[in-house]
C-alpha cells in the first residue's frame, strides 16, 4: 500500500524564460512532477486513485492510445498498490505502430494490454468490466485521459498554484497557453479562473479536436464542475484554438519540428510532437496573429517526456531518417 504523503504533488516550478516571441515568457513545469516522468496525467490520476483507495476496488481498467501518457501513469499507480491493471489500447487505423516508451513503461509495471480498433473501444471496455465483475472482482474504470470532475479538480488546484506564484513574485500573467486534448486540463484552469474572478485568458491549443465539438466538451466539463455558475460566463471563458492541428494527432509538420528544436536549444526544455510541441508552436503563431506583445505569457508544460524520446529515437526531430527504429 502506498505512502499517501508521496502522492501529495508539491508545487511545480515556474521558469522565467525572459523576453521571447515579443513577450515575457514563463513556463510552468508540470512535466517535472517527481513521479513517473510527471505531466498532467499524474495530477489527474492521483485524484482518481484516491477514489480507488476509498472504494476498496481491486482491479483498475483504463483506456488510451498506444503512446498514451495516461496509461503509463495509471499502470504505475496501480503497480504501487499491487492492483491488476488492464489497459484497453486503441491501435491506429493502419494497425499496430512501433512500441512506444509509454507502452514499455506500463509493461514493466505489469499492466496487461487489450488492443482494439477505434470501433471496438466502447464494447471492449464494457465487456472487460462485465467479465471482471462476473469473476467476482470489483473493478474501477478510470476515464480516458483522466476526464471528469476529479481531473478537472486537479487543474483547479494547479490554477491555485499559479495564483500563489503571482502573489509571491508580483508578476501577473495575462494569458496562459496549454495543449488541449480531452480538454479536462483546460477546464480545470478555466474553473479556477472563474472561481477567483480573474481576467487572465486561458487559451487551449487543440491537438486533435475541431470546433464546435472541441470547445463544447471543455464547456461541458466546466459546467459539470461548476453547475451553479452562469453558463454565458463559462462559454466566454473557454478559448479553444483548433487551427494548429497541423500534421494531425501525433504528427508534426516542419515548422512545429523547427520550434521544438529551437526550444530545446535555447531553453533546454523538451517538447513532444503530439502535445506540447503543437501547443508551444501554436502559441507562437497565436501571439503573432493576434498582435500580442509585451505581455506576461505563461505556457503550461503538460509533460510527455517519454514521447519526446520516441520522437528523438524515430528521427522525427532530425533529418537522419536512417536512424529510425525497426
Ligand atoms: C493528455 C495530455 C494533454 C491533454 O490534456 P487534456 O486534459 O486531455 O486536454 C496535454 N499534454 C500532454 C503531454 C498530455 O499527455
Q: What is the pLDDT along the chain (326 residues), one digit of tens a residue?
A: 455 545 678 899 999 999 999 999 999 999 999 999 999 999 999 999 999 999 999 999 999 999 999 999 999 999 999 999 999 999 988 888 899 999 999 999 999 999 999 999 999 999 999 999 999 999 999 999 999 999 999 999 999 999 999 999 999 999 999 999 999 999 999 999 999 999 999 999 999 999 999 999 999 999 999 999 999 999 999 999 999 887 677 778 899 999 999 999 999 999 999 999 999 999 999 999 999 999 999 999 999 999 999 999 999 888 644 444 44
Residue to probe by mutation, ligand 1, list 28, 179, 272, most atoms within 8 Å of CB: 179
Q: Is any ligand 1 atom within 6 A of the Cβ of residue 36?
A: no
**Residue 64 alpha carbon to ligand 1 centre in Å:** 12
Strand 139-142 and strand 175-180: the pairing is unpaired
The ligand 1 atom at the shortest distance from the C-alpha of residue 68 is 15
Q: Is any ligand 1 atom within 6 A of the Cβ of residue 179?
A: yes
Q: Is any ligand 1 atom within 6 A of the Cβ of residue 64?
A: no
The ligand 1 atom at the shortest distance from the C-alpha of residue 303 is 13
Q: Is any ligand 1 atom within 6 A of the Cβ of residue 214?
A: no
In the prediction, which pLDDT does 126 show? 98
Residues pairing with 139 in the sheet: 59
**Residue 146 alpha carbon to ligand 1 centre in Å:** 9
Roughly what angle, to the nearest 10 degrees, separates helices 40-55 and 184-196?
Answer: 90
Q: Three-class SS of residue 112?
A: strand
In degrees, rounded to 5, the angle at the alpha carbon of residue 20 between the alpha carbons of residues 18 and 24 is 50
**Residue 75 alpha carbon to ligand 1 centre in Å:** 17
- 319 to 118, 188, 311: CA distances (angstroms): 32, 38, 12
Q: Is any ligand 1 atom within 6 A of the Cβ of residue 23?
A: no
Q: Is any ligand 1 atom within 6 A of the Cβ of residue 145?
A: yes
> By C-alpha distance, which of 286, 283, 274, 278 is closest to 311?
274
The ligand 1 atom at the shortest distance from the C-alpha of residue 272 is 13
Residues pairing with 205 in the sheet: 179, 241
For 55-95, the pLDDT digits (tens) are 999 999 999 999 999 999 999 999 999 999 999 999 988 88
Q: Are 44 and 184 in contact (CB under 8 A)?
A: yes
- 130 to 61, 135, 138, 283: CA distances (angstroms): 11, 9, 10, 43
Q: Are 179 and 187 in contact (CB under 8 A)?
A: no
CA–CA separation, 208 and 132 (whole Å): 32
CA–CA separation, 82 and 97 (whole Å): 29
For 282-306, the pLDDT digits (tens) are 999 999 999 999 999 999 999 999 9
> What is the phi/psi pair of residue 79, to 5°?
-60, -40
In the prediction, which pLDDT does 253 show? 87
Cell of 323: 536512424
The ligand 1 atom at the shortest distance from the C-alpha of residue 307 is 13
Amino acid at each position: 500500500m502506498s505512502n499517501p504523503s508521496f502522492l501529495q504533488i508539491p508545487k511545480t516550478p515556474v521558469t522565467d524564460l525572459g523576453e521571447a516571441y515579443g513577450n515575457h515568457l514563463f513556463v510552468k513545469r508540470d512535466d517535472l512532477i517527481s513521479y513517473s516522468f510527471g505531466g498532467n496525467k499524474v495530477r489527474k490520476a492521483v485524484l482518481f486513485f484516491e477514489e480507488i483507495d476509498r472504494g476498496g476496488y481491486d482491479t483498475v481498467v483504463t483506456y488510451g492510445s498506444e503512446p498514451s501518457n495516461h496509461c503509463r501513469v495509471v499502470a504505475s499507480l496501480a503497480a504501487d498498490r499491487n492492483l491488476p491493471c488492464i489497459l484497453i489500447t486503441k491501435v491506429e487505423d493502419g494497425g499496430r505502430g512501433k512500441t512506444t516508451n509509454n507502452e514499455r513503461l506500463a509493461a514493466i509495471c505489469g499492466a496487461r494490454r487489450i488492443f482494439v480498433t477505434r470501433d471496438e473501444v466502447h464494447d471492449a471496455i464494457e465487456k472487460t468490466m462485465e467479465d471482471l465483475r462476473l469473476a467476482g472482482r470489483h473493478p474501477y474504470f478510470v476515464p480516458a485521459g483522466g476526464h471528469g470532475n476529479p481531473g478537472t479538480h486537479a487543474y483547479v488546484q494547479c490554477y491555485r498554484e499559479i495564483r500563489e506564484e503571482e502573489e509571491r513574485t508580483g508578476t501577473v500573467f495575462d494569458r496562459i497557453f496549454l495543449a488541449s486534448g480531452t480538454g479536462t486540463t483546460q477546464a480545470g484552469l478555466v474553473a479556477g479562473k472563474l472561481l477567483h474572478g480573474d481576467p487572465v485568458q486561458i487559451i487551449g491549443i487543440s491537438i486533435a479536436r475541431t470546433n464546435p465539438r472541441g470547445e463544447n466538451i471543455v464547456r461541458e466539463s466546466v459546467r459539470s464542475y461548476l453547475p451553479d455558475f452562469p453558463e454565458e460566463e463559462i462559454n466566454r471563458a473557454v478559448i479553444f484554438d483548433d487551427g494548429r492541428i497541423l500534421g494531425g494527432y501525433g504528427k508534426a509538420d516542419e515548422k512545429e519540428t523547427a520550434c521544438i528544436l529551437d526550444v530545446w536549444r535555447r531553453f533546454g526544455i523538451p517538447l513532444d510532437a503530439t502535445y506540447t510541441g503543437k501547443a508551444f508552436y501554436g502559441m507562437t503563431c497565436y501571439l503573432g496573429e493576434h498582435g500580442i506583445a509585451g505581455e506576461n505569457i505563461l505556457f503550461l508544460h503538460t509533460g510527455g517526456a517519454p514521447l519526446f524520446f520516441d520522437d528523438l529515437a524515430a528521427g522525427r526531430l532530425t533529418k537522419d531518417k536512417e536512424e529510425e527504429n525497426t
